Amino acid sequence: MRHERRVITDPGAGPSPLIDQFGRQVTYLRLSVTDRCDLRCTYCMAEHMTFLPRRDVLSLEELYDLAQVFMRGGVRKIRLTGGEPLVRKNIIQLFELLSAHLRNGDLDEVTLTTNGTLLARHAEALFAAGVRRVNVSLDSRDPARYAQITRWGRLDAVLNGIDAALAAGLKVKLNAVALRGAFEREVDDLIRFAHGRGMDLTLIEEMPLGEAGHDRGESFLSLRDLRRSLAERWTMVAVEDRTGGPARYVRLAETGGRLGFITPLSCDFCASCNRVRISCTGDLFTCMGQEGSVGLRDALRGEDPAVVVGRMIRDALGCKPKGHSFEISGQAINGIARHMSVLGG
């Protein structure tokens, strides 16, 4: 069932910033549009997933309504995530709705994180809708290992998607989850590939989210350790560049390209958190590393949604934790049951 389209407006006082209990301002919304994906990456979800009934998922119009409430609170950047956002039917329509807010100055950026398999089909439409930058998940350039990690993905589809995105004028950043073993032998190749085509590469520590079918105590690779190893082969120059998220960057003297590190476990980044996440069912997560959430869907479909939902968001931010509680240390793993695919990381 889809609900009648309503324009979300608040006739009351002008917008005021969304501030949590630690004084951190929320300016970045990660909006999940689906829990579904056409891959089954080992660090993200189980091989045999049970996905949500479509009736439980917010319509594109409802997702847009939620985005408007957050914009009124000072959110300047919206990233669409999944699952895999491009498997959502008619997803370009949501980008087109948000593009008006890029033109009028409400938003600085609308972007997405994608596995790249459908990017060739949508790259030109994304650019036309105001998207200028995309993150593409690519953990290996070896076709066999890529298929193993994703359980059935085809590397050539992702490479074609990257080519199409660059041709359409999109800036591409590659994301790679760092895992112990083969990845350590391939990371230099990923660096050369990314920087050789003018793309940033960001390395991400594996997070203990959901049962993914392997021993994270065995697979976890600290980026603090990996960075020390990379420094033996590459000259890293610290830069202050930021892209609105948790990545910290260096520039490699040998390539001129940027290399980012997202280190939720080995080097806590929560002190500067500026983001919240909405699931495709309308649940607000103020921290991806905690179980708690606030359901906004019923209020969104009720009376005075801008006022009621806005109040619920502010109340939730009053309880936003100082940081996550993830831990992977030897065989000690402290994680949560929710799969990464629920919120797109």
What gap in Å lies between CA 337 and CA 316, rounded to an integer? 21
Instruction: Return the DSSP state at 193.
Output: H
The answer to whether 79 is annotated as binding is: yes
CA 260, CA 118: separation in Å to the nearest integer? 25
Q: Distance (Å, rounded) from C-alpha 189 to C-alpha 101?
A: 39
Q: Please report, for residues 47, 86, 104, the alpha-carbon distance to residue 37 in angstroms, rounded to integers and kept in the order given.
A: 11, 9, 33
Q: Is 267 annotated as a binding residue?
A: no
In three-state secondary structure terms, 101 is helix
Is 37 assigned a ligand-binding role in the annotation?
yes
Give bridge partners of residue 32 from the DSSP assignment. 81
- Residue 147 CA to residue 192 CA, distance in Å, equals 21
Is 216 annotated for ligand binding? no
* Residue 12 marked as a ligand binder: no
- CA–CA gap between residue 277 and residue 208 (Å, rounded): 18
Structure tokens, 193: 């590939």
The tokens describing 241, both together, are: 């560049």
Per the annotation, does 141 bind a ligand?
no
Q: Is 242 annotated as a binding residue?
A: no
Q: Is 77 flagged in the annotation as binding?
A: no
| Cβ atoms of 269 and 287 closer than 8 Å | no
The string of DSSP letters for 218-268 reads HHB--HHHHHHHHTTTS-EEE-----SSS-EEEEETTT--EEEEE-TTTS-
Q: Is 5 marked as a binding-site residue?
A: no
276 among the known binding-site residues? Answer: yes
What count of other Cβ atoms lies within 10 Å of the Cβ of residue 327?
A: 11
SS3 state at 147: helix
280 annotated among ligand-binding-site residues? no
The answer to whether 224 is a known ligand-binding residue is no
User: Does 207 show up as a binding residue in the annotation?
Assistant: yes
The sign of the CA dihedral 33, 137, 166, 275 is positive
- Rounded to an integer, what distance in angstroms lies between the CA atom of residue 45 and that of residue 42? 6
Q: Is 134 left (phi over 0), alpha (psi -120 to 50) or beta?
A: beta
Annotated binding site: 30, 37, 41, 43-44, 79, 83, 113, 137, 173, 207, 270, 273, 275-277, 287
Annotated binding site for S-adenosyl-L-methionine: 43, 83, 137, 207
Annotated binding site for [4Fe-4S] cluster: 37, 41, 44, 270, 273, 287
Annotated binding site for GTP: 30, 79, 113, 173, 275-277
